[in-house]
Every structure is written in C-alpha cells, then in structure tokens.
Amino acid sequence: MNDKFDLMEERYADWPRSISKVVANNALAEFRESVGYDSLRELPCAVCSGLCSNEHWTVVSVREINLLLLEASKYYENPFFEVDFVYGHPYICESGCKILLDKDGFIERGTDGKNDDSFDLQICNGCK
C-alpha cells in the first residue's frame, strides 16, 4: 500500500500543471458551444405549439403535410376566437382548408424563382 502511495506521490508531485493555451482554448470553445444559445434554445412546434430544443424538432416543407389533418373545427371559425387562417403560403391558400398553425413555428426562407413557398415549418418529433 505504501509503495502505491509513493508511486502516486511521485507521479503527481508537480500537480497541478499549467494547461497549454491550445488545450485551454479548445476546452473553452467546446464548453461555449455546448451551452450556447443555439444548443439550449427552445422553439415552438408549428403544429402543437410545444417548445422543443433543436434536437427534438425537424424542418418540414408545408407541401409534405396533409393539411386535412390540421383543419380547424368549425367551432374555431367563430369570430370570437379571432383566429387568422391566412398564412400567406400558396399551398395552404390553394387547399381551401382553414388550418391551425402556430406562426412562431414558421421558418422563413428566400424564394429562388423556382419555388414560391415563403416558409417551412418546424415540427416536433411528436407531431412528425
């Protein structure tokens, strides 16, 4: 037992050692990335409005969704609820469906001339 202690004492006699700048900077960069805004941020699902971290949602094109599944009940068409069913997306407008979506779950994208879709949806894994 004493031999083992003596060996460890000799091995770590100069402990703590200074850390090189490269190792320190790499560790700091890794830490900042793991606790950064993008990795901790929670964003709303366009379908259920639930908040999810970026590893628990997916970006989906509006055209990949069966809009009939998201159609609102006639009950919510009552002016009392003040629901705006206009989203400014050609696929949704052409469908004629009055669907419920959380506009905070929209991901804006530029139009490239070939496609006039103005946004995609971020959808949590539960709604996907």
* pLDDT at res. 88: 80
Ramachandran angles phi, psi of 2, nearest 5°: -65, -35
Q: How many domains does the chain have?
A: 1
SS3 state at 100: coil
Place of tokens 């009940």: 73
Highest mean pLDDT among 20-24, 80-84, 92-96: 20-24
pTM score over 0.85: no
Share of the chain above pLDDT 90, in %: 13
For 34, the domain range is 2-124
